[in-house]
Structure 1
Amino acid sequence: MIDSLGLLVVLLGHSVITRGENITCNTSCVRGPDNTTETCNITTGECLYGCNVGFAGPNCTYRCPDSCLHPQDNETGPCDHISGECLLGCKEGFAGLNCSILCPENCLTGESGMDICNETTEQCLFGYKDGFYGSNCTRRCSNVDQHCEQCSERKGDIWCVPSYISGEPQCRQDDGYCNHGCKTGRYGFMCGVRCSSTCNDECHRETGMCFECQPSSYCGSTCKIPCQDGCLLQQCNQSCQCVKGCTTTNWGEKCQTVCNSNCIKPSNPSERVCNAYDGTCLLGCEGERFWTNECTEPCFSTCVNGTCEHYTGNCKDGCTSNRVYGGRCDTPCNKNCNAGTCKREDGYCDKGCKEGSFGNNCGNICSATCLNQKCNRVNGCCTDGCISGFEGQQCERGCKEGSYGNNCGNNCSATCLNQKCNKVDGSCTEGCISGFG
C-alpha cells in the first residue's frame, strides 16, 4: 500500500528509511521491542528507544568517549551530545568533562564516577598508592627500584605492614624519602644505592657503612679491603685485625709484617719463624751472621768468621785484630797505646802508653808541668819531677812564697827585699835590701 507520505522500506539489520523526506534512522538507535517497528521519529529522526552503548544525542549521532560511565537504561546516552561532557562521570582512571585525561595509574580511587586526578595538573586528588610519590604519583619510592622498607619489628625476618596501619606511607610525597628505612642491602635518601657486596646484608642508612663484613676475609667501613695475607685463614675483624692470629711467617697487630728473611726457618712449616707480637726470630739468625731481635743487622766485619751472638751482636770467636776491642770488636784502641794494640775486654793498652799519656787506655795526658812531660802510667804522677816554679806529685801547685826552681827546692836570696823572688829563676821581684844590688 502506498501512503501519501511515501513508501516505507525496511532494511533488515541496518537502518529504517522513513516515508516522505527519506529520513534515515541512525544505526546507533536502539531497535524497538518487536525489532520491526521504526527506531526513530519519521519526521525528526529522533531515536524512539534511546541510543546504543557509546552514543548520545536525539538522533544518537554523537559518539561518546569510551572513558565515560554508561547509564543503565541508556535513555540519554553517557555524554552530552553538544558539549561531549560525560553525564555520569568517568570510568576509573580518567578525568575531565569528557573523561579524556588519563590519570596516573598510581592514583588512589574515590567513589564511582568521580575524577581521581586534576584534569589540568593530573595531580592525584585522593592520594597515591603505597610505594609512589610526587604530585601525580608517577615516581617510585626509589629512583632505581622499589627499595623502601616498612616494618613493625625484626625477629630474624622482616614483617612488613601496609601504610594505613602506621598512618604513614612508604615514602614522602614531596621528595621520595623512605619513611621506614631501607630494604636489606640498600641505603641512601631513597634507598637507591646498594650496600657493598661484602656487607653482611645490612649497612648504615645514611653512610653505607657495613655493620658486619661477610665473608670474614674483608674489612674496613664498607668491607672492601681484603684481610692481610698474613692473617691465619685470611680472617680478620672489621678493623682489619686478624681474629685467628698470624701465619707462621708474619707478625704485628694486623700481621702485615713478614718475619725477616735472616731468621732461621724451622724444619716443620707449621712452627712459627718469629714471635707474632715483636718479630723476634725464635731460632736465631741464619749462619749466626746477623743480630738484633729480628736479625736485621749484620755482624761487624772485625768479628772472627763474621759470626756474632743473636741478641747482643758480640763476636762469638773474638776479634780479627788486636787494634780493636769490645764485645762487638767495633771500638778502636786508643791512639796513645804503644803499637796501637789493646786488650779486647776493656781496651787496656797491653804494651803501655806513648810518652806523655797515662791511664788504662792511655787516654789521659801527663801534666804540662811535669819535667820532660813524663808521668806514671797508672796515676799520672810526674816521674822526673816538676819544671821550675811548680811542686806536687803531678806538679799541680806553684812554689810557695820564698822558694823557686825545680820542685821549688831553692829559697829566695836573703838579700831580696822582703825575701820575695821569681819562682822560676829566683830573681828578686821587689829589689834588694839596702847595700845590695
Structure 2
Amino acid sequence: MLCSSCNSGYWGEFCDRKCEYSCPNTCNKISAECTSCSYKTFGSFCEQTCSKTCSGNCVRQSGKCYSCLQGYWGTFCENSCNKSCEGGCDRYSGVCSRCLSSYWGPSCSYTCSQNCMLKRCDKNTGKCGSCAHGRWGELCEATCSLQCNGNCNRETGVCLSCNEGYWGQYCKYKCEPGCNDNCDKTSGYCKFCLSGSWGNYCERNCSCDCSRNNGQCESCISGYWGVSCLQKCHKNCESGCYQTLGECVDCKDGTWGINCTNLCPLNCASNCDDRSGECMSCHNRYWGPKCEKECNNTCEICHQETGKCLMCMKSKWGDQCKADCPNKCKEQCDIATGKCETCLQGYWGDQCQFQCGHHNCKKCNTSTGECESCFEGKWGENCDKDCADHCLLGCVKTNGTCFACEAGYWGPSCNVICRIENCSTCSQNTGLCETCILSRWGETCDISCSERCRHGCNFTTGKCNGCKIGYWGNICENECPSLKCEICQQQIGVCSVCQTGYWGIKCERQCNQCLRCDTKEGYCTSCHKGRWGLSCENECEESCVCCGISSGACERCPVVSLKGNGTNVDLAFHLDSKIGLITIVIAATISAVATVTTTVLVMVCFYQRISRKLAGSTKEKQSSQTEMTEFSTDSMGNHPYQILSEHPVTPT
C-alpha cells in the first residue's frame, strides 16, 4: 500500500528509503532532495560547503555568499581586497572604501608622491593635500626658489617672502650692497641705507648720516660739524659739537668757553661752568664765583657766595672763626653758639665751665652735672661709695650690685662663700657650683676625676681633659697598645707619639739607623752624625761632620752643654763642618777649691770623622748602600723622601 507521506528522514512510495545523511532534517518524498541545509552548506543534497570567506550562509541552490568577511569580495568572496585598503572594499567591484595613508586609487594601489606633506594625497586623483617644505605643484613636483623665506605659493611657485638680501617674485634678484641686505621684495628699493650712503638703492655716497632722499647730512659723526660734516670739532669738546655752528656741546674737565679754549680758575675744586667759567665748588679756604677770594685764616671751609665760615679750624667759632672755644671743650665747639660739643673728663656745662661734683665721677651729664658713671670700684650718686671687697670689674652705680664675683664667692655683693667645699666658681645668683677645683666633678663637686686624667676632667660628664702617658679613653681607662707608645689618641687609642727610635700605629716598628723618625710614615727626621737622607742612607761629604738631612749640604753642628753633679761644669763645643776644627771651651767652678782639673775625652763624632777619612773603602760604601736599600724596601713604604732616596743629591 502506497504511503501518502513519510516520517522525517525517509522518502519513496513506501517511505522505505533513508534521506541523505547530509540533510539535517528531512527530504522530498519523491526526489529525495533535502528540504533545508545545515549552516554553511548548500546543494540538492546539502553535500557542498559554502566558501570559508563567506561571512555567514550562502544561497542553497548556487552557493553564492550572502556577504563576505572583511577584506574579501566577489560572488563567492573569492577575491582579497588590496592590502592598502582601509576598512574593506566593495563586495562586487573590489573598490576600496578608503585607503591607508600614502596610497590612492580605486584599489589603493598607487603611492602618493614623496613631496606631499606627510605623503598624504586625494584618494581619487592622487593630488597632494599640501606640499612638503620648499615644494609646489599639484603633485608637489616643483621646487621653490632657494631664496624663498619659507614656502612658496602652491599653485604658482611665487615666494611668500624672500631671504634677507633678495627680492622679486621668485626672490632671484640680490639687493644692492648699500641696502645692508634689506630691500623691498617687490621693487628692490632699499628700506634704509647704511650711514654714508643714500638713493633708492643706496648707491650714492655721503660723508655723514645723510637723508635717504637728497643726500643732505642729518647728523654728523662725533667730532665733526658743518653741512657736509667735513669740519672737525675743537679738541677740548667732550661730547662733540653742534652741527650748525661747531660750538662744543660740553667741555673737557678743566676747560670752558665756546670752543672750550679757556682753562678753569686754579682754585676750582671740581669743574667750572662751560659757558661762564664760574667754579662749581672751591678748594678749602677759597670763595667767590671763580674762587678768587681767600677765606679768613682761621676758616677751614667758607660759603662760596658769601665767604661766611662753614667750618672753623680746631678750637675756633663764629662767622669768621675768630672767637676761641672754651678751654675745657674736649675738641670742637658749635660754630654758631660756641657751645662745647663734648667736655674734658670731669667737666660739664654749655661751655664746660663746671667741674663734676666728686673726684670719683668718671663722666657726668653735660647739661645737669649729674654723675653718669663712676671709676671702677666706686658707686653711688656722687660715686663716693666703695664696691664690695670681692666684686670683679666694679659694681652698678645705682645700687652697688657687683658685675661679677671673685672665685669662691656669690651674691649681689659677692659677700657669701660658695656653698660647696670643692667648688672653684659658683653662680652669682644661686650659689650653685659652675666649676670644680682640679680633679673633682659633679653638681656638688663630690666625685673625683680618674687618677689617670692629665688635666682634671669635665665638670658635667667626668670625661678626662687629656690622659697621662700610656692611657686612653673617656676616663683614661684603657692602656695604650704598646710600651713604646708614649702618647696615644684619647678617643681611639692610636699612638701619636712613640719613644725615640720607634714608629707605627702601635710604635711596633724600629727606625733602623735613624736617630729619630716620623711616627706615621717611618722616614727619618734626624740622623746620626755624618749621615743624611730620608733613610739616613747617604754619607756626608768627607769634609763635613754635620750635614742637612734633606739636601746633604754641610751645616754647623749643634752646641752641646753638659752639667756635672756637685760641680758646675759647662762644656760647650762647636764643630765647623767645612774646616774640621773643634773648639772646646771649658768653664769649671768648684766650691772652695782653687785647683780645677779637667779631663776632656775626644768626642765620638770627631773620631767617626777621622775614621771615615782613613778607612773610606769602596767595599764599606757598597755594604752601607746595600743595608740602606733593604731598609727602604722593607719598612719605608710610600713616604715623601722616597724620591730623594732613589736619586740622592751629591753634596757640592
TM-score of the two chains, using structure 1 as the length reference: 0.35
* Greater fraction of residues in strand: 2
Greater relative CO, 1 or 2 (CA 8 Å, sep 6+) = 1
